[in-house]
């Protein structure tokens, strides 16, 4: 299962049933769990932590030092969870002193050429399209779909269950359950097809829709709009998530 043409540092920890192809490079201070497949020419560098049942395609680089001039060689990690597919030429840099780690959760698909910068946190069940680039300290919540060639500014957050149009670029937060697109990027309705596919009830979808009608179409400032959502719509986990997400946003949300 391990090619003699691969380099594995003697201090690296490799789990059971791991397939390592020719010309793979695995550095010291690396831990790789069970049932992983690492294809030719992948590089798993210092500080990488790989879970179980992942497939890492040729040319991927996990754990390279951050592209951040403030980095001074501190001990940090790049952590990949379980059941992820990491396609060709994906790069996941390790963290800096800011958060100490970059995290990719479970059950994600990172397509060809995706870049995950230092201290980023990607949740579970996300799909990230070809050549999408995420800057440092971003957060992507669970089950987000980000299409190809999207540029995400540092410190931004993307809410769960969103769909972001390919080729978009943004420097503000994108709240949950919506479609974001056009140029410049704007709110383009709720992600109703995605919500139905995820078995959201009609009642929950209607509450989400009503919340965003108030937030984006009432003409109220965001503070008053959130108060109106709380007072006029029966609270449910979905509306509470929307309100808390927007209230906690430091960069503000897209228009």
Q: Cα torsion at 98, 104, 109, 114 (round to 10°)?
A: 30
Phi then psi for residue 181, to 5 deg, are: -170, -165
- Cβ–Cβ < 8 Å for 38, 56: yes
Q: Residues with catalytic annotation?
A: 118-119, 136
162's tokens? 């969103």
Give CA–CA dist 109/255, Å, rounded: 28
Counts of helices then strands in the chain (DSSP H, E): 4, 27
In whole angstroms, how far apart are CA 204 and each of 192, 200, 217, 226?
A: 11, 6, 19, 17
Measure the CA–CA gap between 2 and 24, rounded to whole angstroms: 10
């Amino acid at each position: 299962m391990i090619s003699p043409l691969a380099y594995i540092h003697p201090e690296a920890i490799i789990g059971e049933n791991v397939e390592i192809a020719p010309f793979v490079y695995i550095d010291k201070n690396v831990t790789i769990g069970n049932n992983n497949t690492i294809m030719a020419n992948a590089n798993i560098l210092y500080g990488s932590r790989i879970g179980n049942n992942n497939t890492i395609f040729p040319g991927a680089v996990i754990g390279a030092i951050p592209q951040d001039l403030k980095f001074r060689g501190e001990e940090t990690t790049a952590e990949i969870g379980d059941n992820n597919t990491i396609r060709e030429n994906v790069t996941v840099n390790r963290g800096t002193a800011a958060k100490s780690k970059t995290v990719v959760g479970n059950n994600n698909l990172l397509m060809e050429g995706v870049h995950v910068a230092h201290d980023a946190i990607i949740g579970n069940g996300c799909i990230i399209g070809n050549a999408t680039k995420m800057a440092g300290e971003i957060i992507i919540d669970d089950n987000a779909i980000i299409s190809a060639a999207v540029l995400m500014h540092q410190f931004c957050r993307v809410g769960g269950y969103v769909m972001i149009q390919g080729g978009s670029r943004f420097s503000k937060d994108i709240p949950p359950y919506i479609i974001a697109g056009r140029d410049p990027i704007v709110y383009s309705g709720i992600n109703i097809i995605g919500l139905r596919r995820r078995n959201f009830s009609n009642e929950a979808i209607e509450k989400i829709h009503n919340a965003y009608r108030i937030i984006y179409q009432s003409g109220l400032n965001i503070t008053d709009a959130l108060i109106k959502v709380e007072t006029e719509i029966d609270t449910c986990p979905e509306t509470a998530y929307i309100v808390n997400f927007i209230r906690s946003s430091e960069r503000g949300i897209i228009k």
